């Protein structure tokens, strides 16, 4: 079964700590995305990548970093510079990253600050 796998499902971060959220897809999609969901708000785009070794900032990239060394993987690091990291993080992919494509989402990671 093809899909997107996010891990872990729940993650806790201590003050000043960097944490990395994993996202793997076996859909053979070129494009991958990271979104953040806060209560009462829509999904906001953090970073996206349309091709291996290239990625672009989304609307709220500050305090986050990504890498795209392999087509299947797009990990997101929440750095200590992100002052309000508690949120539900969603990874998504689409075939080529074009505007009229459907996004396929993972099941998300809930990040909380200790």
Partner 1 sequence: DQQVKQNSPSLSVQEGRISILNCDYTNSMFDYFLWYKKYPAEGPTFLISISSIKDKNEDGRFTVFLNKSAKHLSLHIVPSQPGDSAVYFCATGLIQGAQKLVFGQGTRLTINP
Binding site for partner 1 (CB under 8 A): 4, 6, 9, 31, 33, 35, 40-45, 48, 50, 56, 58, 90, 92, 94, 97-108, 110
Question: Which residue's CB is nearer to partner 1, number 1 or number 15?
Answer: 1
Q: Considering the complex, what minimum distance in angstroms separates the CB of residue 9 from partner 1? A: 8
For the bound state, the minimum distance from the C-beta of residue 101 to partner 1, rounded and expressed in Å, comes to: 6
Of 2, 1, 28, 3, nearest in space to 105 by CA: 3
Distance CA(9)–CA(113), nearest Å, equals 15
Closer Cβ to partner 1, 18 or 53, answer by number: 53
* Residue 70 vs 95, nearer CB to partner 1: 95
Give 55: exposed, middle or buried? Use CB within 10 Å, 0-12, 13-18, 19+.
buried
31-37 and 87-94 strand pairing: antiparallel
Both tokens assigned to 30: 């070129």
Please identify, using beta-carbon distances, which residue of 8 and 81 lies nearer to partner 1.
8
């Amino acid at each position: 079964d093809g899909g997107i796998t996010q891990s872990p499902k729940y993650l806790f971060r201590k003050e000043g700590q960097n944490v990395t959220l994993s996202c793997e897809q076996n859909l053979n999609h070129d494009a991958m995305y990271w979104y953040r969901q806060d209560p009462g708000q829509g999904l906001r785009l953090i970073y996206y990548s349309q091709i291996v070794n290239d990625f672009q900032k989304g609307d709220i990239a500050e305090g986050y970093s990504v890498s795209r060394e392999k087509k299947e993987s797009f990990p997101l690091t929440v750095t200590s510079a992100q002052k309000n990291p508690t949120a539900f993080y969603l990874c998504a992919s689409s075939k080529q990253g074009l505007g009229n494509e459907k996004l396929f989402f993972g099941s998300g990671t809930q990040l909380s600050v200790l």
